[in-house]
Amino acid sequence: MTFENLNIIAPITQALKQKGYVEPTPIQEKAIPHLLKGSDVFGTAQTGTGKTAAFAIPILQKLYAGQADRKTSGIRALVLAPTRELAIQISESFSDYSKGLRLRHTVVYGGVSQNPQTTILKKGIDILIATPGRLIDLMNQGFIRLDTIEFFILDEADRMLDMGFAPDIKRIIAKLPARKQTGFFTATIPQEIRALADSLLHNPVMIHVAPNSAPAESVNQSVYYVEKADKRAMLQQVFESEEIETALIFTRTKHGADKVTRELNKIGISAVAIHGNKSQMARQKALQGFKNRTIKVLVATDIASRGIDVDKLTHVINFELPEVPETYVHRIGRTGRAGESGTAISFCASEERGSLKDINKLLPRAIEVKRMNGFVASSHTALDMVAAERPERPSFHGRPARPSNSGQRPFQRKRW
């Protein structure tokens, strides 16, 4: 299957070839024909499956085909994204695919001055990519009207709701014309998402693309069992023992990302955190520094990391394991791309053993368990054996049981 087989026009297929895209991904193969026909689409797909092209290509092709018959001015297509980074990435994709089509697009998001955005809007655009908050601000100020929208895409709808955008989304939908084509994309389908889709879509085509549960063979995966309190010391040891050119480190919380970043900078490793509490300017500066290699380490939460796409990323480090197994696959898929090799290292505390077990169930083979000198953490089986042998002083969190007459630790750990 090629893009030509999907009846994509020559200018777009040429642009795709320049990007190195020849064969469509499953979500593209399934969604593009229906969107070209004019059907509403309800797509279930993870980030990283190629869904941006799945809706961008049909929008561009249909807008291009309808240019001659256009009778009114105004914005014709709206793409709504939950984060600034994802909105920027979507805008870059439209730029890549629309060369030679003479279609104008722009992206608006908060955290930066609105003046450059409103200047472009005043000149007139065909396609608008936006985050909900800034879109509503500009609508309220009269810079944006949505009554000419022909195509509406709601991307990562579940993340929208997780981030508290439900009221904003409903306000935006209320301003859209009743007659339009809609694409609705989500990774999960909780009840609130289903209700929103039912209110928005008309006889939609249902498309489901299962998440890829097989990381690239070029990614070397390993996991270290380590006490939660010792993770930062182990991270330092990893940087001392591994040849790390660039690393993307994942934490579960914004506070955790900030803490890891501070500790890395203390030992002379250039690191920046990226999460929702950072200003847009700070986030863009961090991403740019990471991409041009002036920053060695980016520490991110899963939501903030959406839209991060860096060439030749050598390491992904899971400082904390994700609760959703598929998220692990998506995280480590940031490395080992385009024929390059990559390394994925995970830290697993005793309270994360359940998450690791679920991740291993998803993978073709279990992640290799490694040991680090100076750190001891036992498996559940070994823990049970120690407890049985010394019932009066069972070991705890993987730490060897102490002799009752000693207040010393059995090993010395490096501290930052």
pLDDT at 403: 39
* pLDDT category of residue 108 using cuts at 50, 70 and 90: very high
Whether the predicted pLDDT of 43 surpasses 90: yes
CA–CA–CA angle 319, 159, 32 (5° rounding)? 115
223: nearest Cα among 238, 207, 208, 205: 238
Whether the predicted pLDDT of 306 surpasses 50: yes
Q: Are 135 and 172 in contact (CB under 8 A)?
A: yes
Whether the predicted pLDDT of 278 surpasses 80: no
> What CA–CA distance (Å, rounded) separates 416 from 411?
16
136: nearest Cα among 158, 166, 161: 166
Give me 56's structure tokens. 């961008």
What mean pLDDT comes out for the span 312-335? 88
Q: 33-55 in b/e burial notation, b at 16+ Cβ within 10 A?
A: ebbbeebbbbbbbbbebbbbbbb
Beta strands in 200-349 (DSSP E): 205-208, 219-225, 247-250, 271-274, 297-300, 315-318, 342-348
pLDDT at 21: 87
pLDDT at 304: 62
pLDDT at 415: 45
Give me 62's structure tokens. 């249909």
User: What number of helices (H) and strands (E) belong to the chain?
Assistant: 16, 14
Whether the predicted pLDDT of 203 surpasses 60: yes
* pLDDT category of residue 109 using cuts at 50, 70 and 90: very high
Domains and CATH numbers, the chain: 4-208 (3.40.50.300), 219-389 (3.40.50.300)
227: nearest Cα among 374, 397, 370, 395: 397
What mean pLDDT comes out for the span 386-411? 36
Q: pLDDT per residue over 57-76, tens digit each?
A: 999 999 999 876 666 689 99
Whether the predicted pLDDT of 400 surpasses 90: no
135: nearest Cα among 183, 96, 92, 173: 173
pLDDT at 280: 66
Find the helix or strand (DSSP H, E) in which 403 lies.
Answer: none
Residues sharing a CB contact under 8 Å with residue 357, sequence separation 6 or more, in sequence order? none
> What CA–CA distance (Å, rounded) separates 57 from 54?
6
**φ and ψ at residue 357, rounded to 5 degrees:** -60, -45
Q: pLDDT per residue over 29-42, tens digit each?
A: 999 999 999 999 99
78: nearest Cα among 63, 98, 99: 63
pLDDT at 28: 94
Q: pLDDT per residue over 80-104, tens digit each?
A: 999 888 899 899 999 999 998 999 9
Whether the predicted pLDDT of 264 surpasses 70: yes
- Among the residues of 98-190, which ranges form H helices? 115-123, 132-140, 157-162, 166-174
DSSP codes, 288-309: HHHHTTSS-EEEE-HHHHTT--
Whether the predicted pLDDT of 222 surpasses 80: yes
Using DSSP's 3-state secondary structure scheme, residue 370 falls into strand
DSSP codes, 109-130: -SSS-SHHHHHHHHH--SEEEE
Whether the predicted pLDDT of 409 surpasses 60: no
Higher pLDDT, 21 or 137: 137
48: nearest Cα among 204, 185, 228: 185
* pLDDT category of residue 303 using cuts at 50, 70 and 90: low
Across 159-163, 228-232, 237-241, 369-373, least confident range: 159-163
> What CA–CA distance (Å, rounded) separates 56 from 32?
9
Beta strands in 32-190 (DSSP E): 41-44, 77-80, 105-108, 127-130, 151-154, 181-186
What mean pLDDT comes out for the span 348-357? 94
Using DSSP's 3-state secondary structure scheme, residue 345 falls into strand
CB-based burial label for 69 (10 Å; 0-12, 13-18, 19+)? exposed
pLDDT at 373: 82
Mean pLDDT of the chain: 85
- pTM (predicted TM-score): 0.64
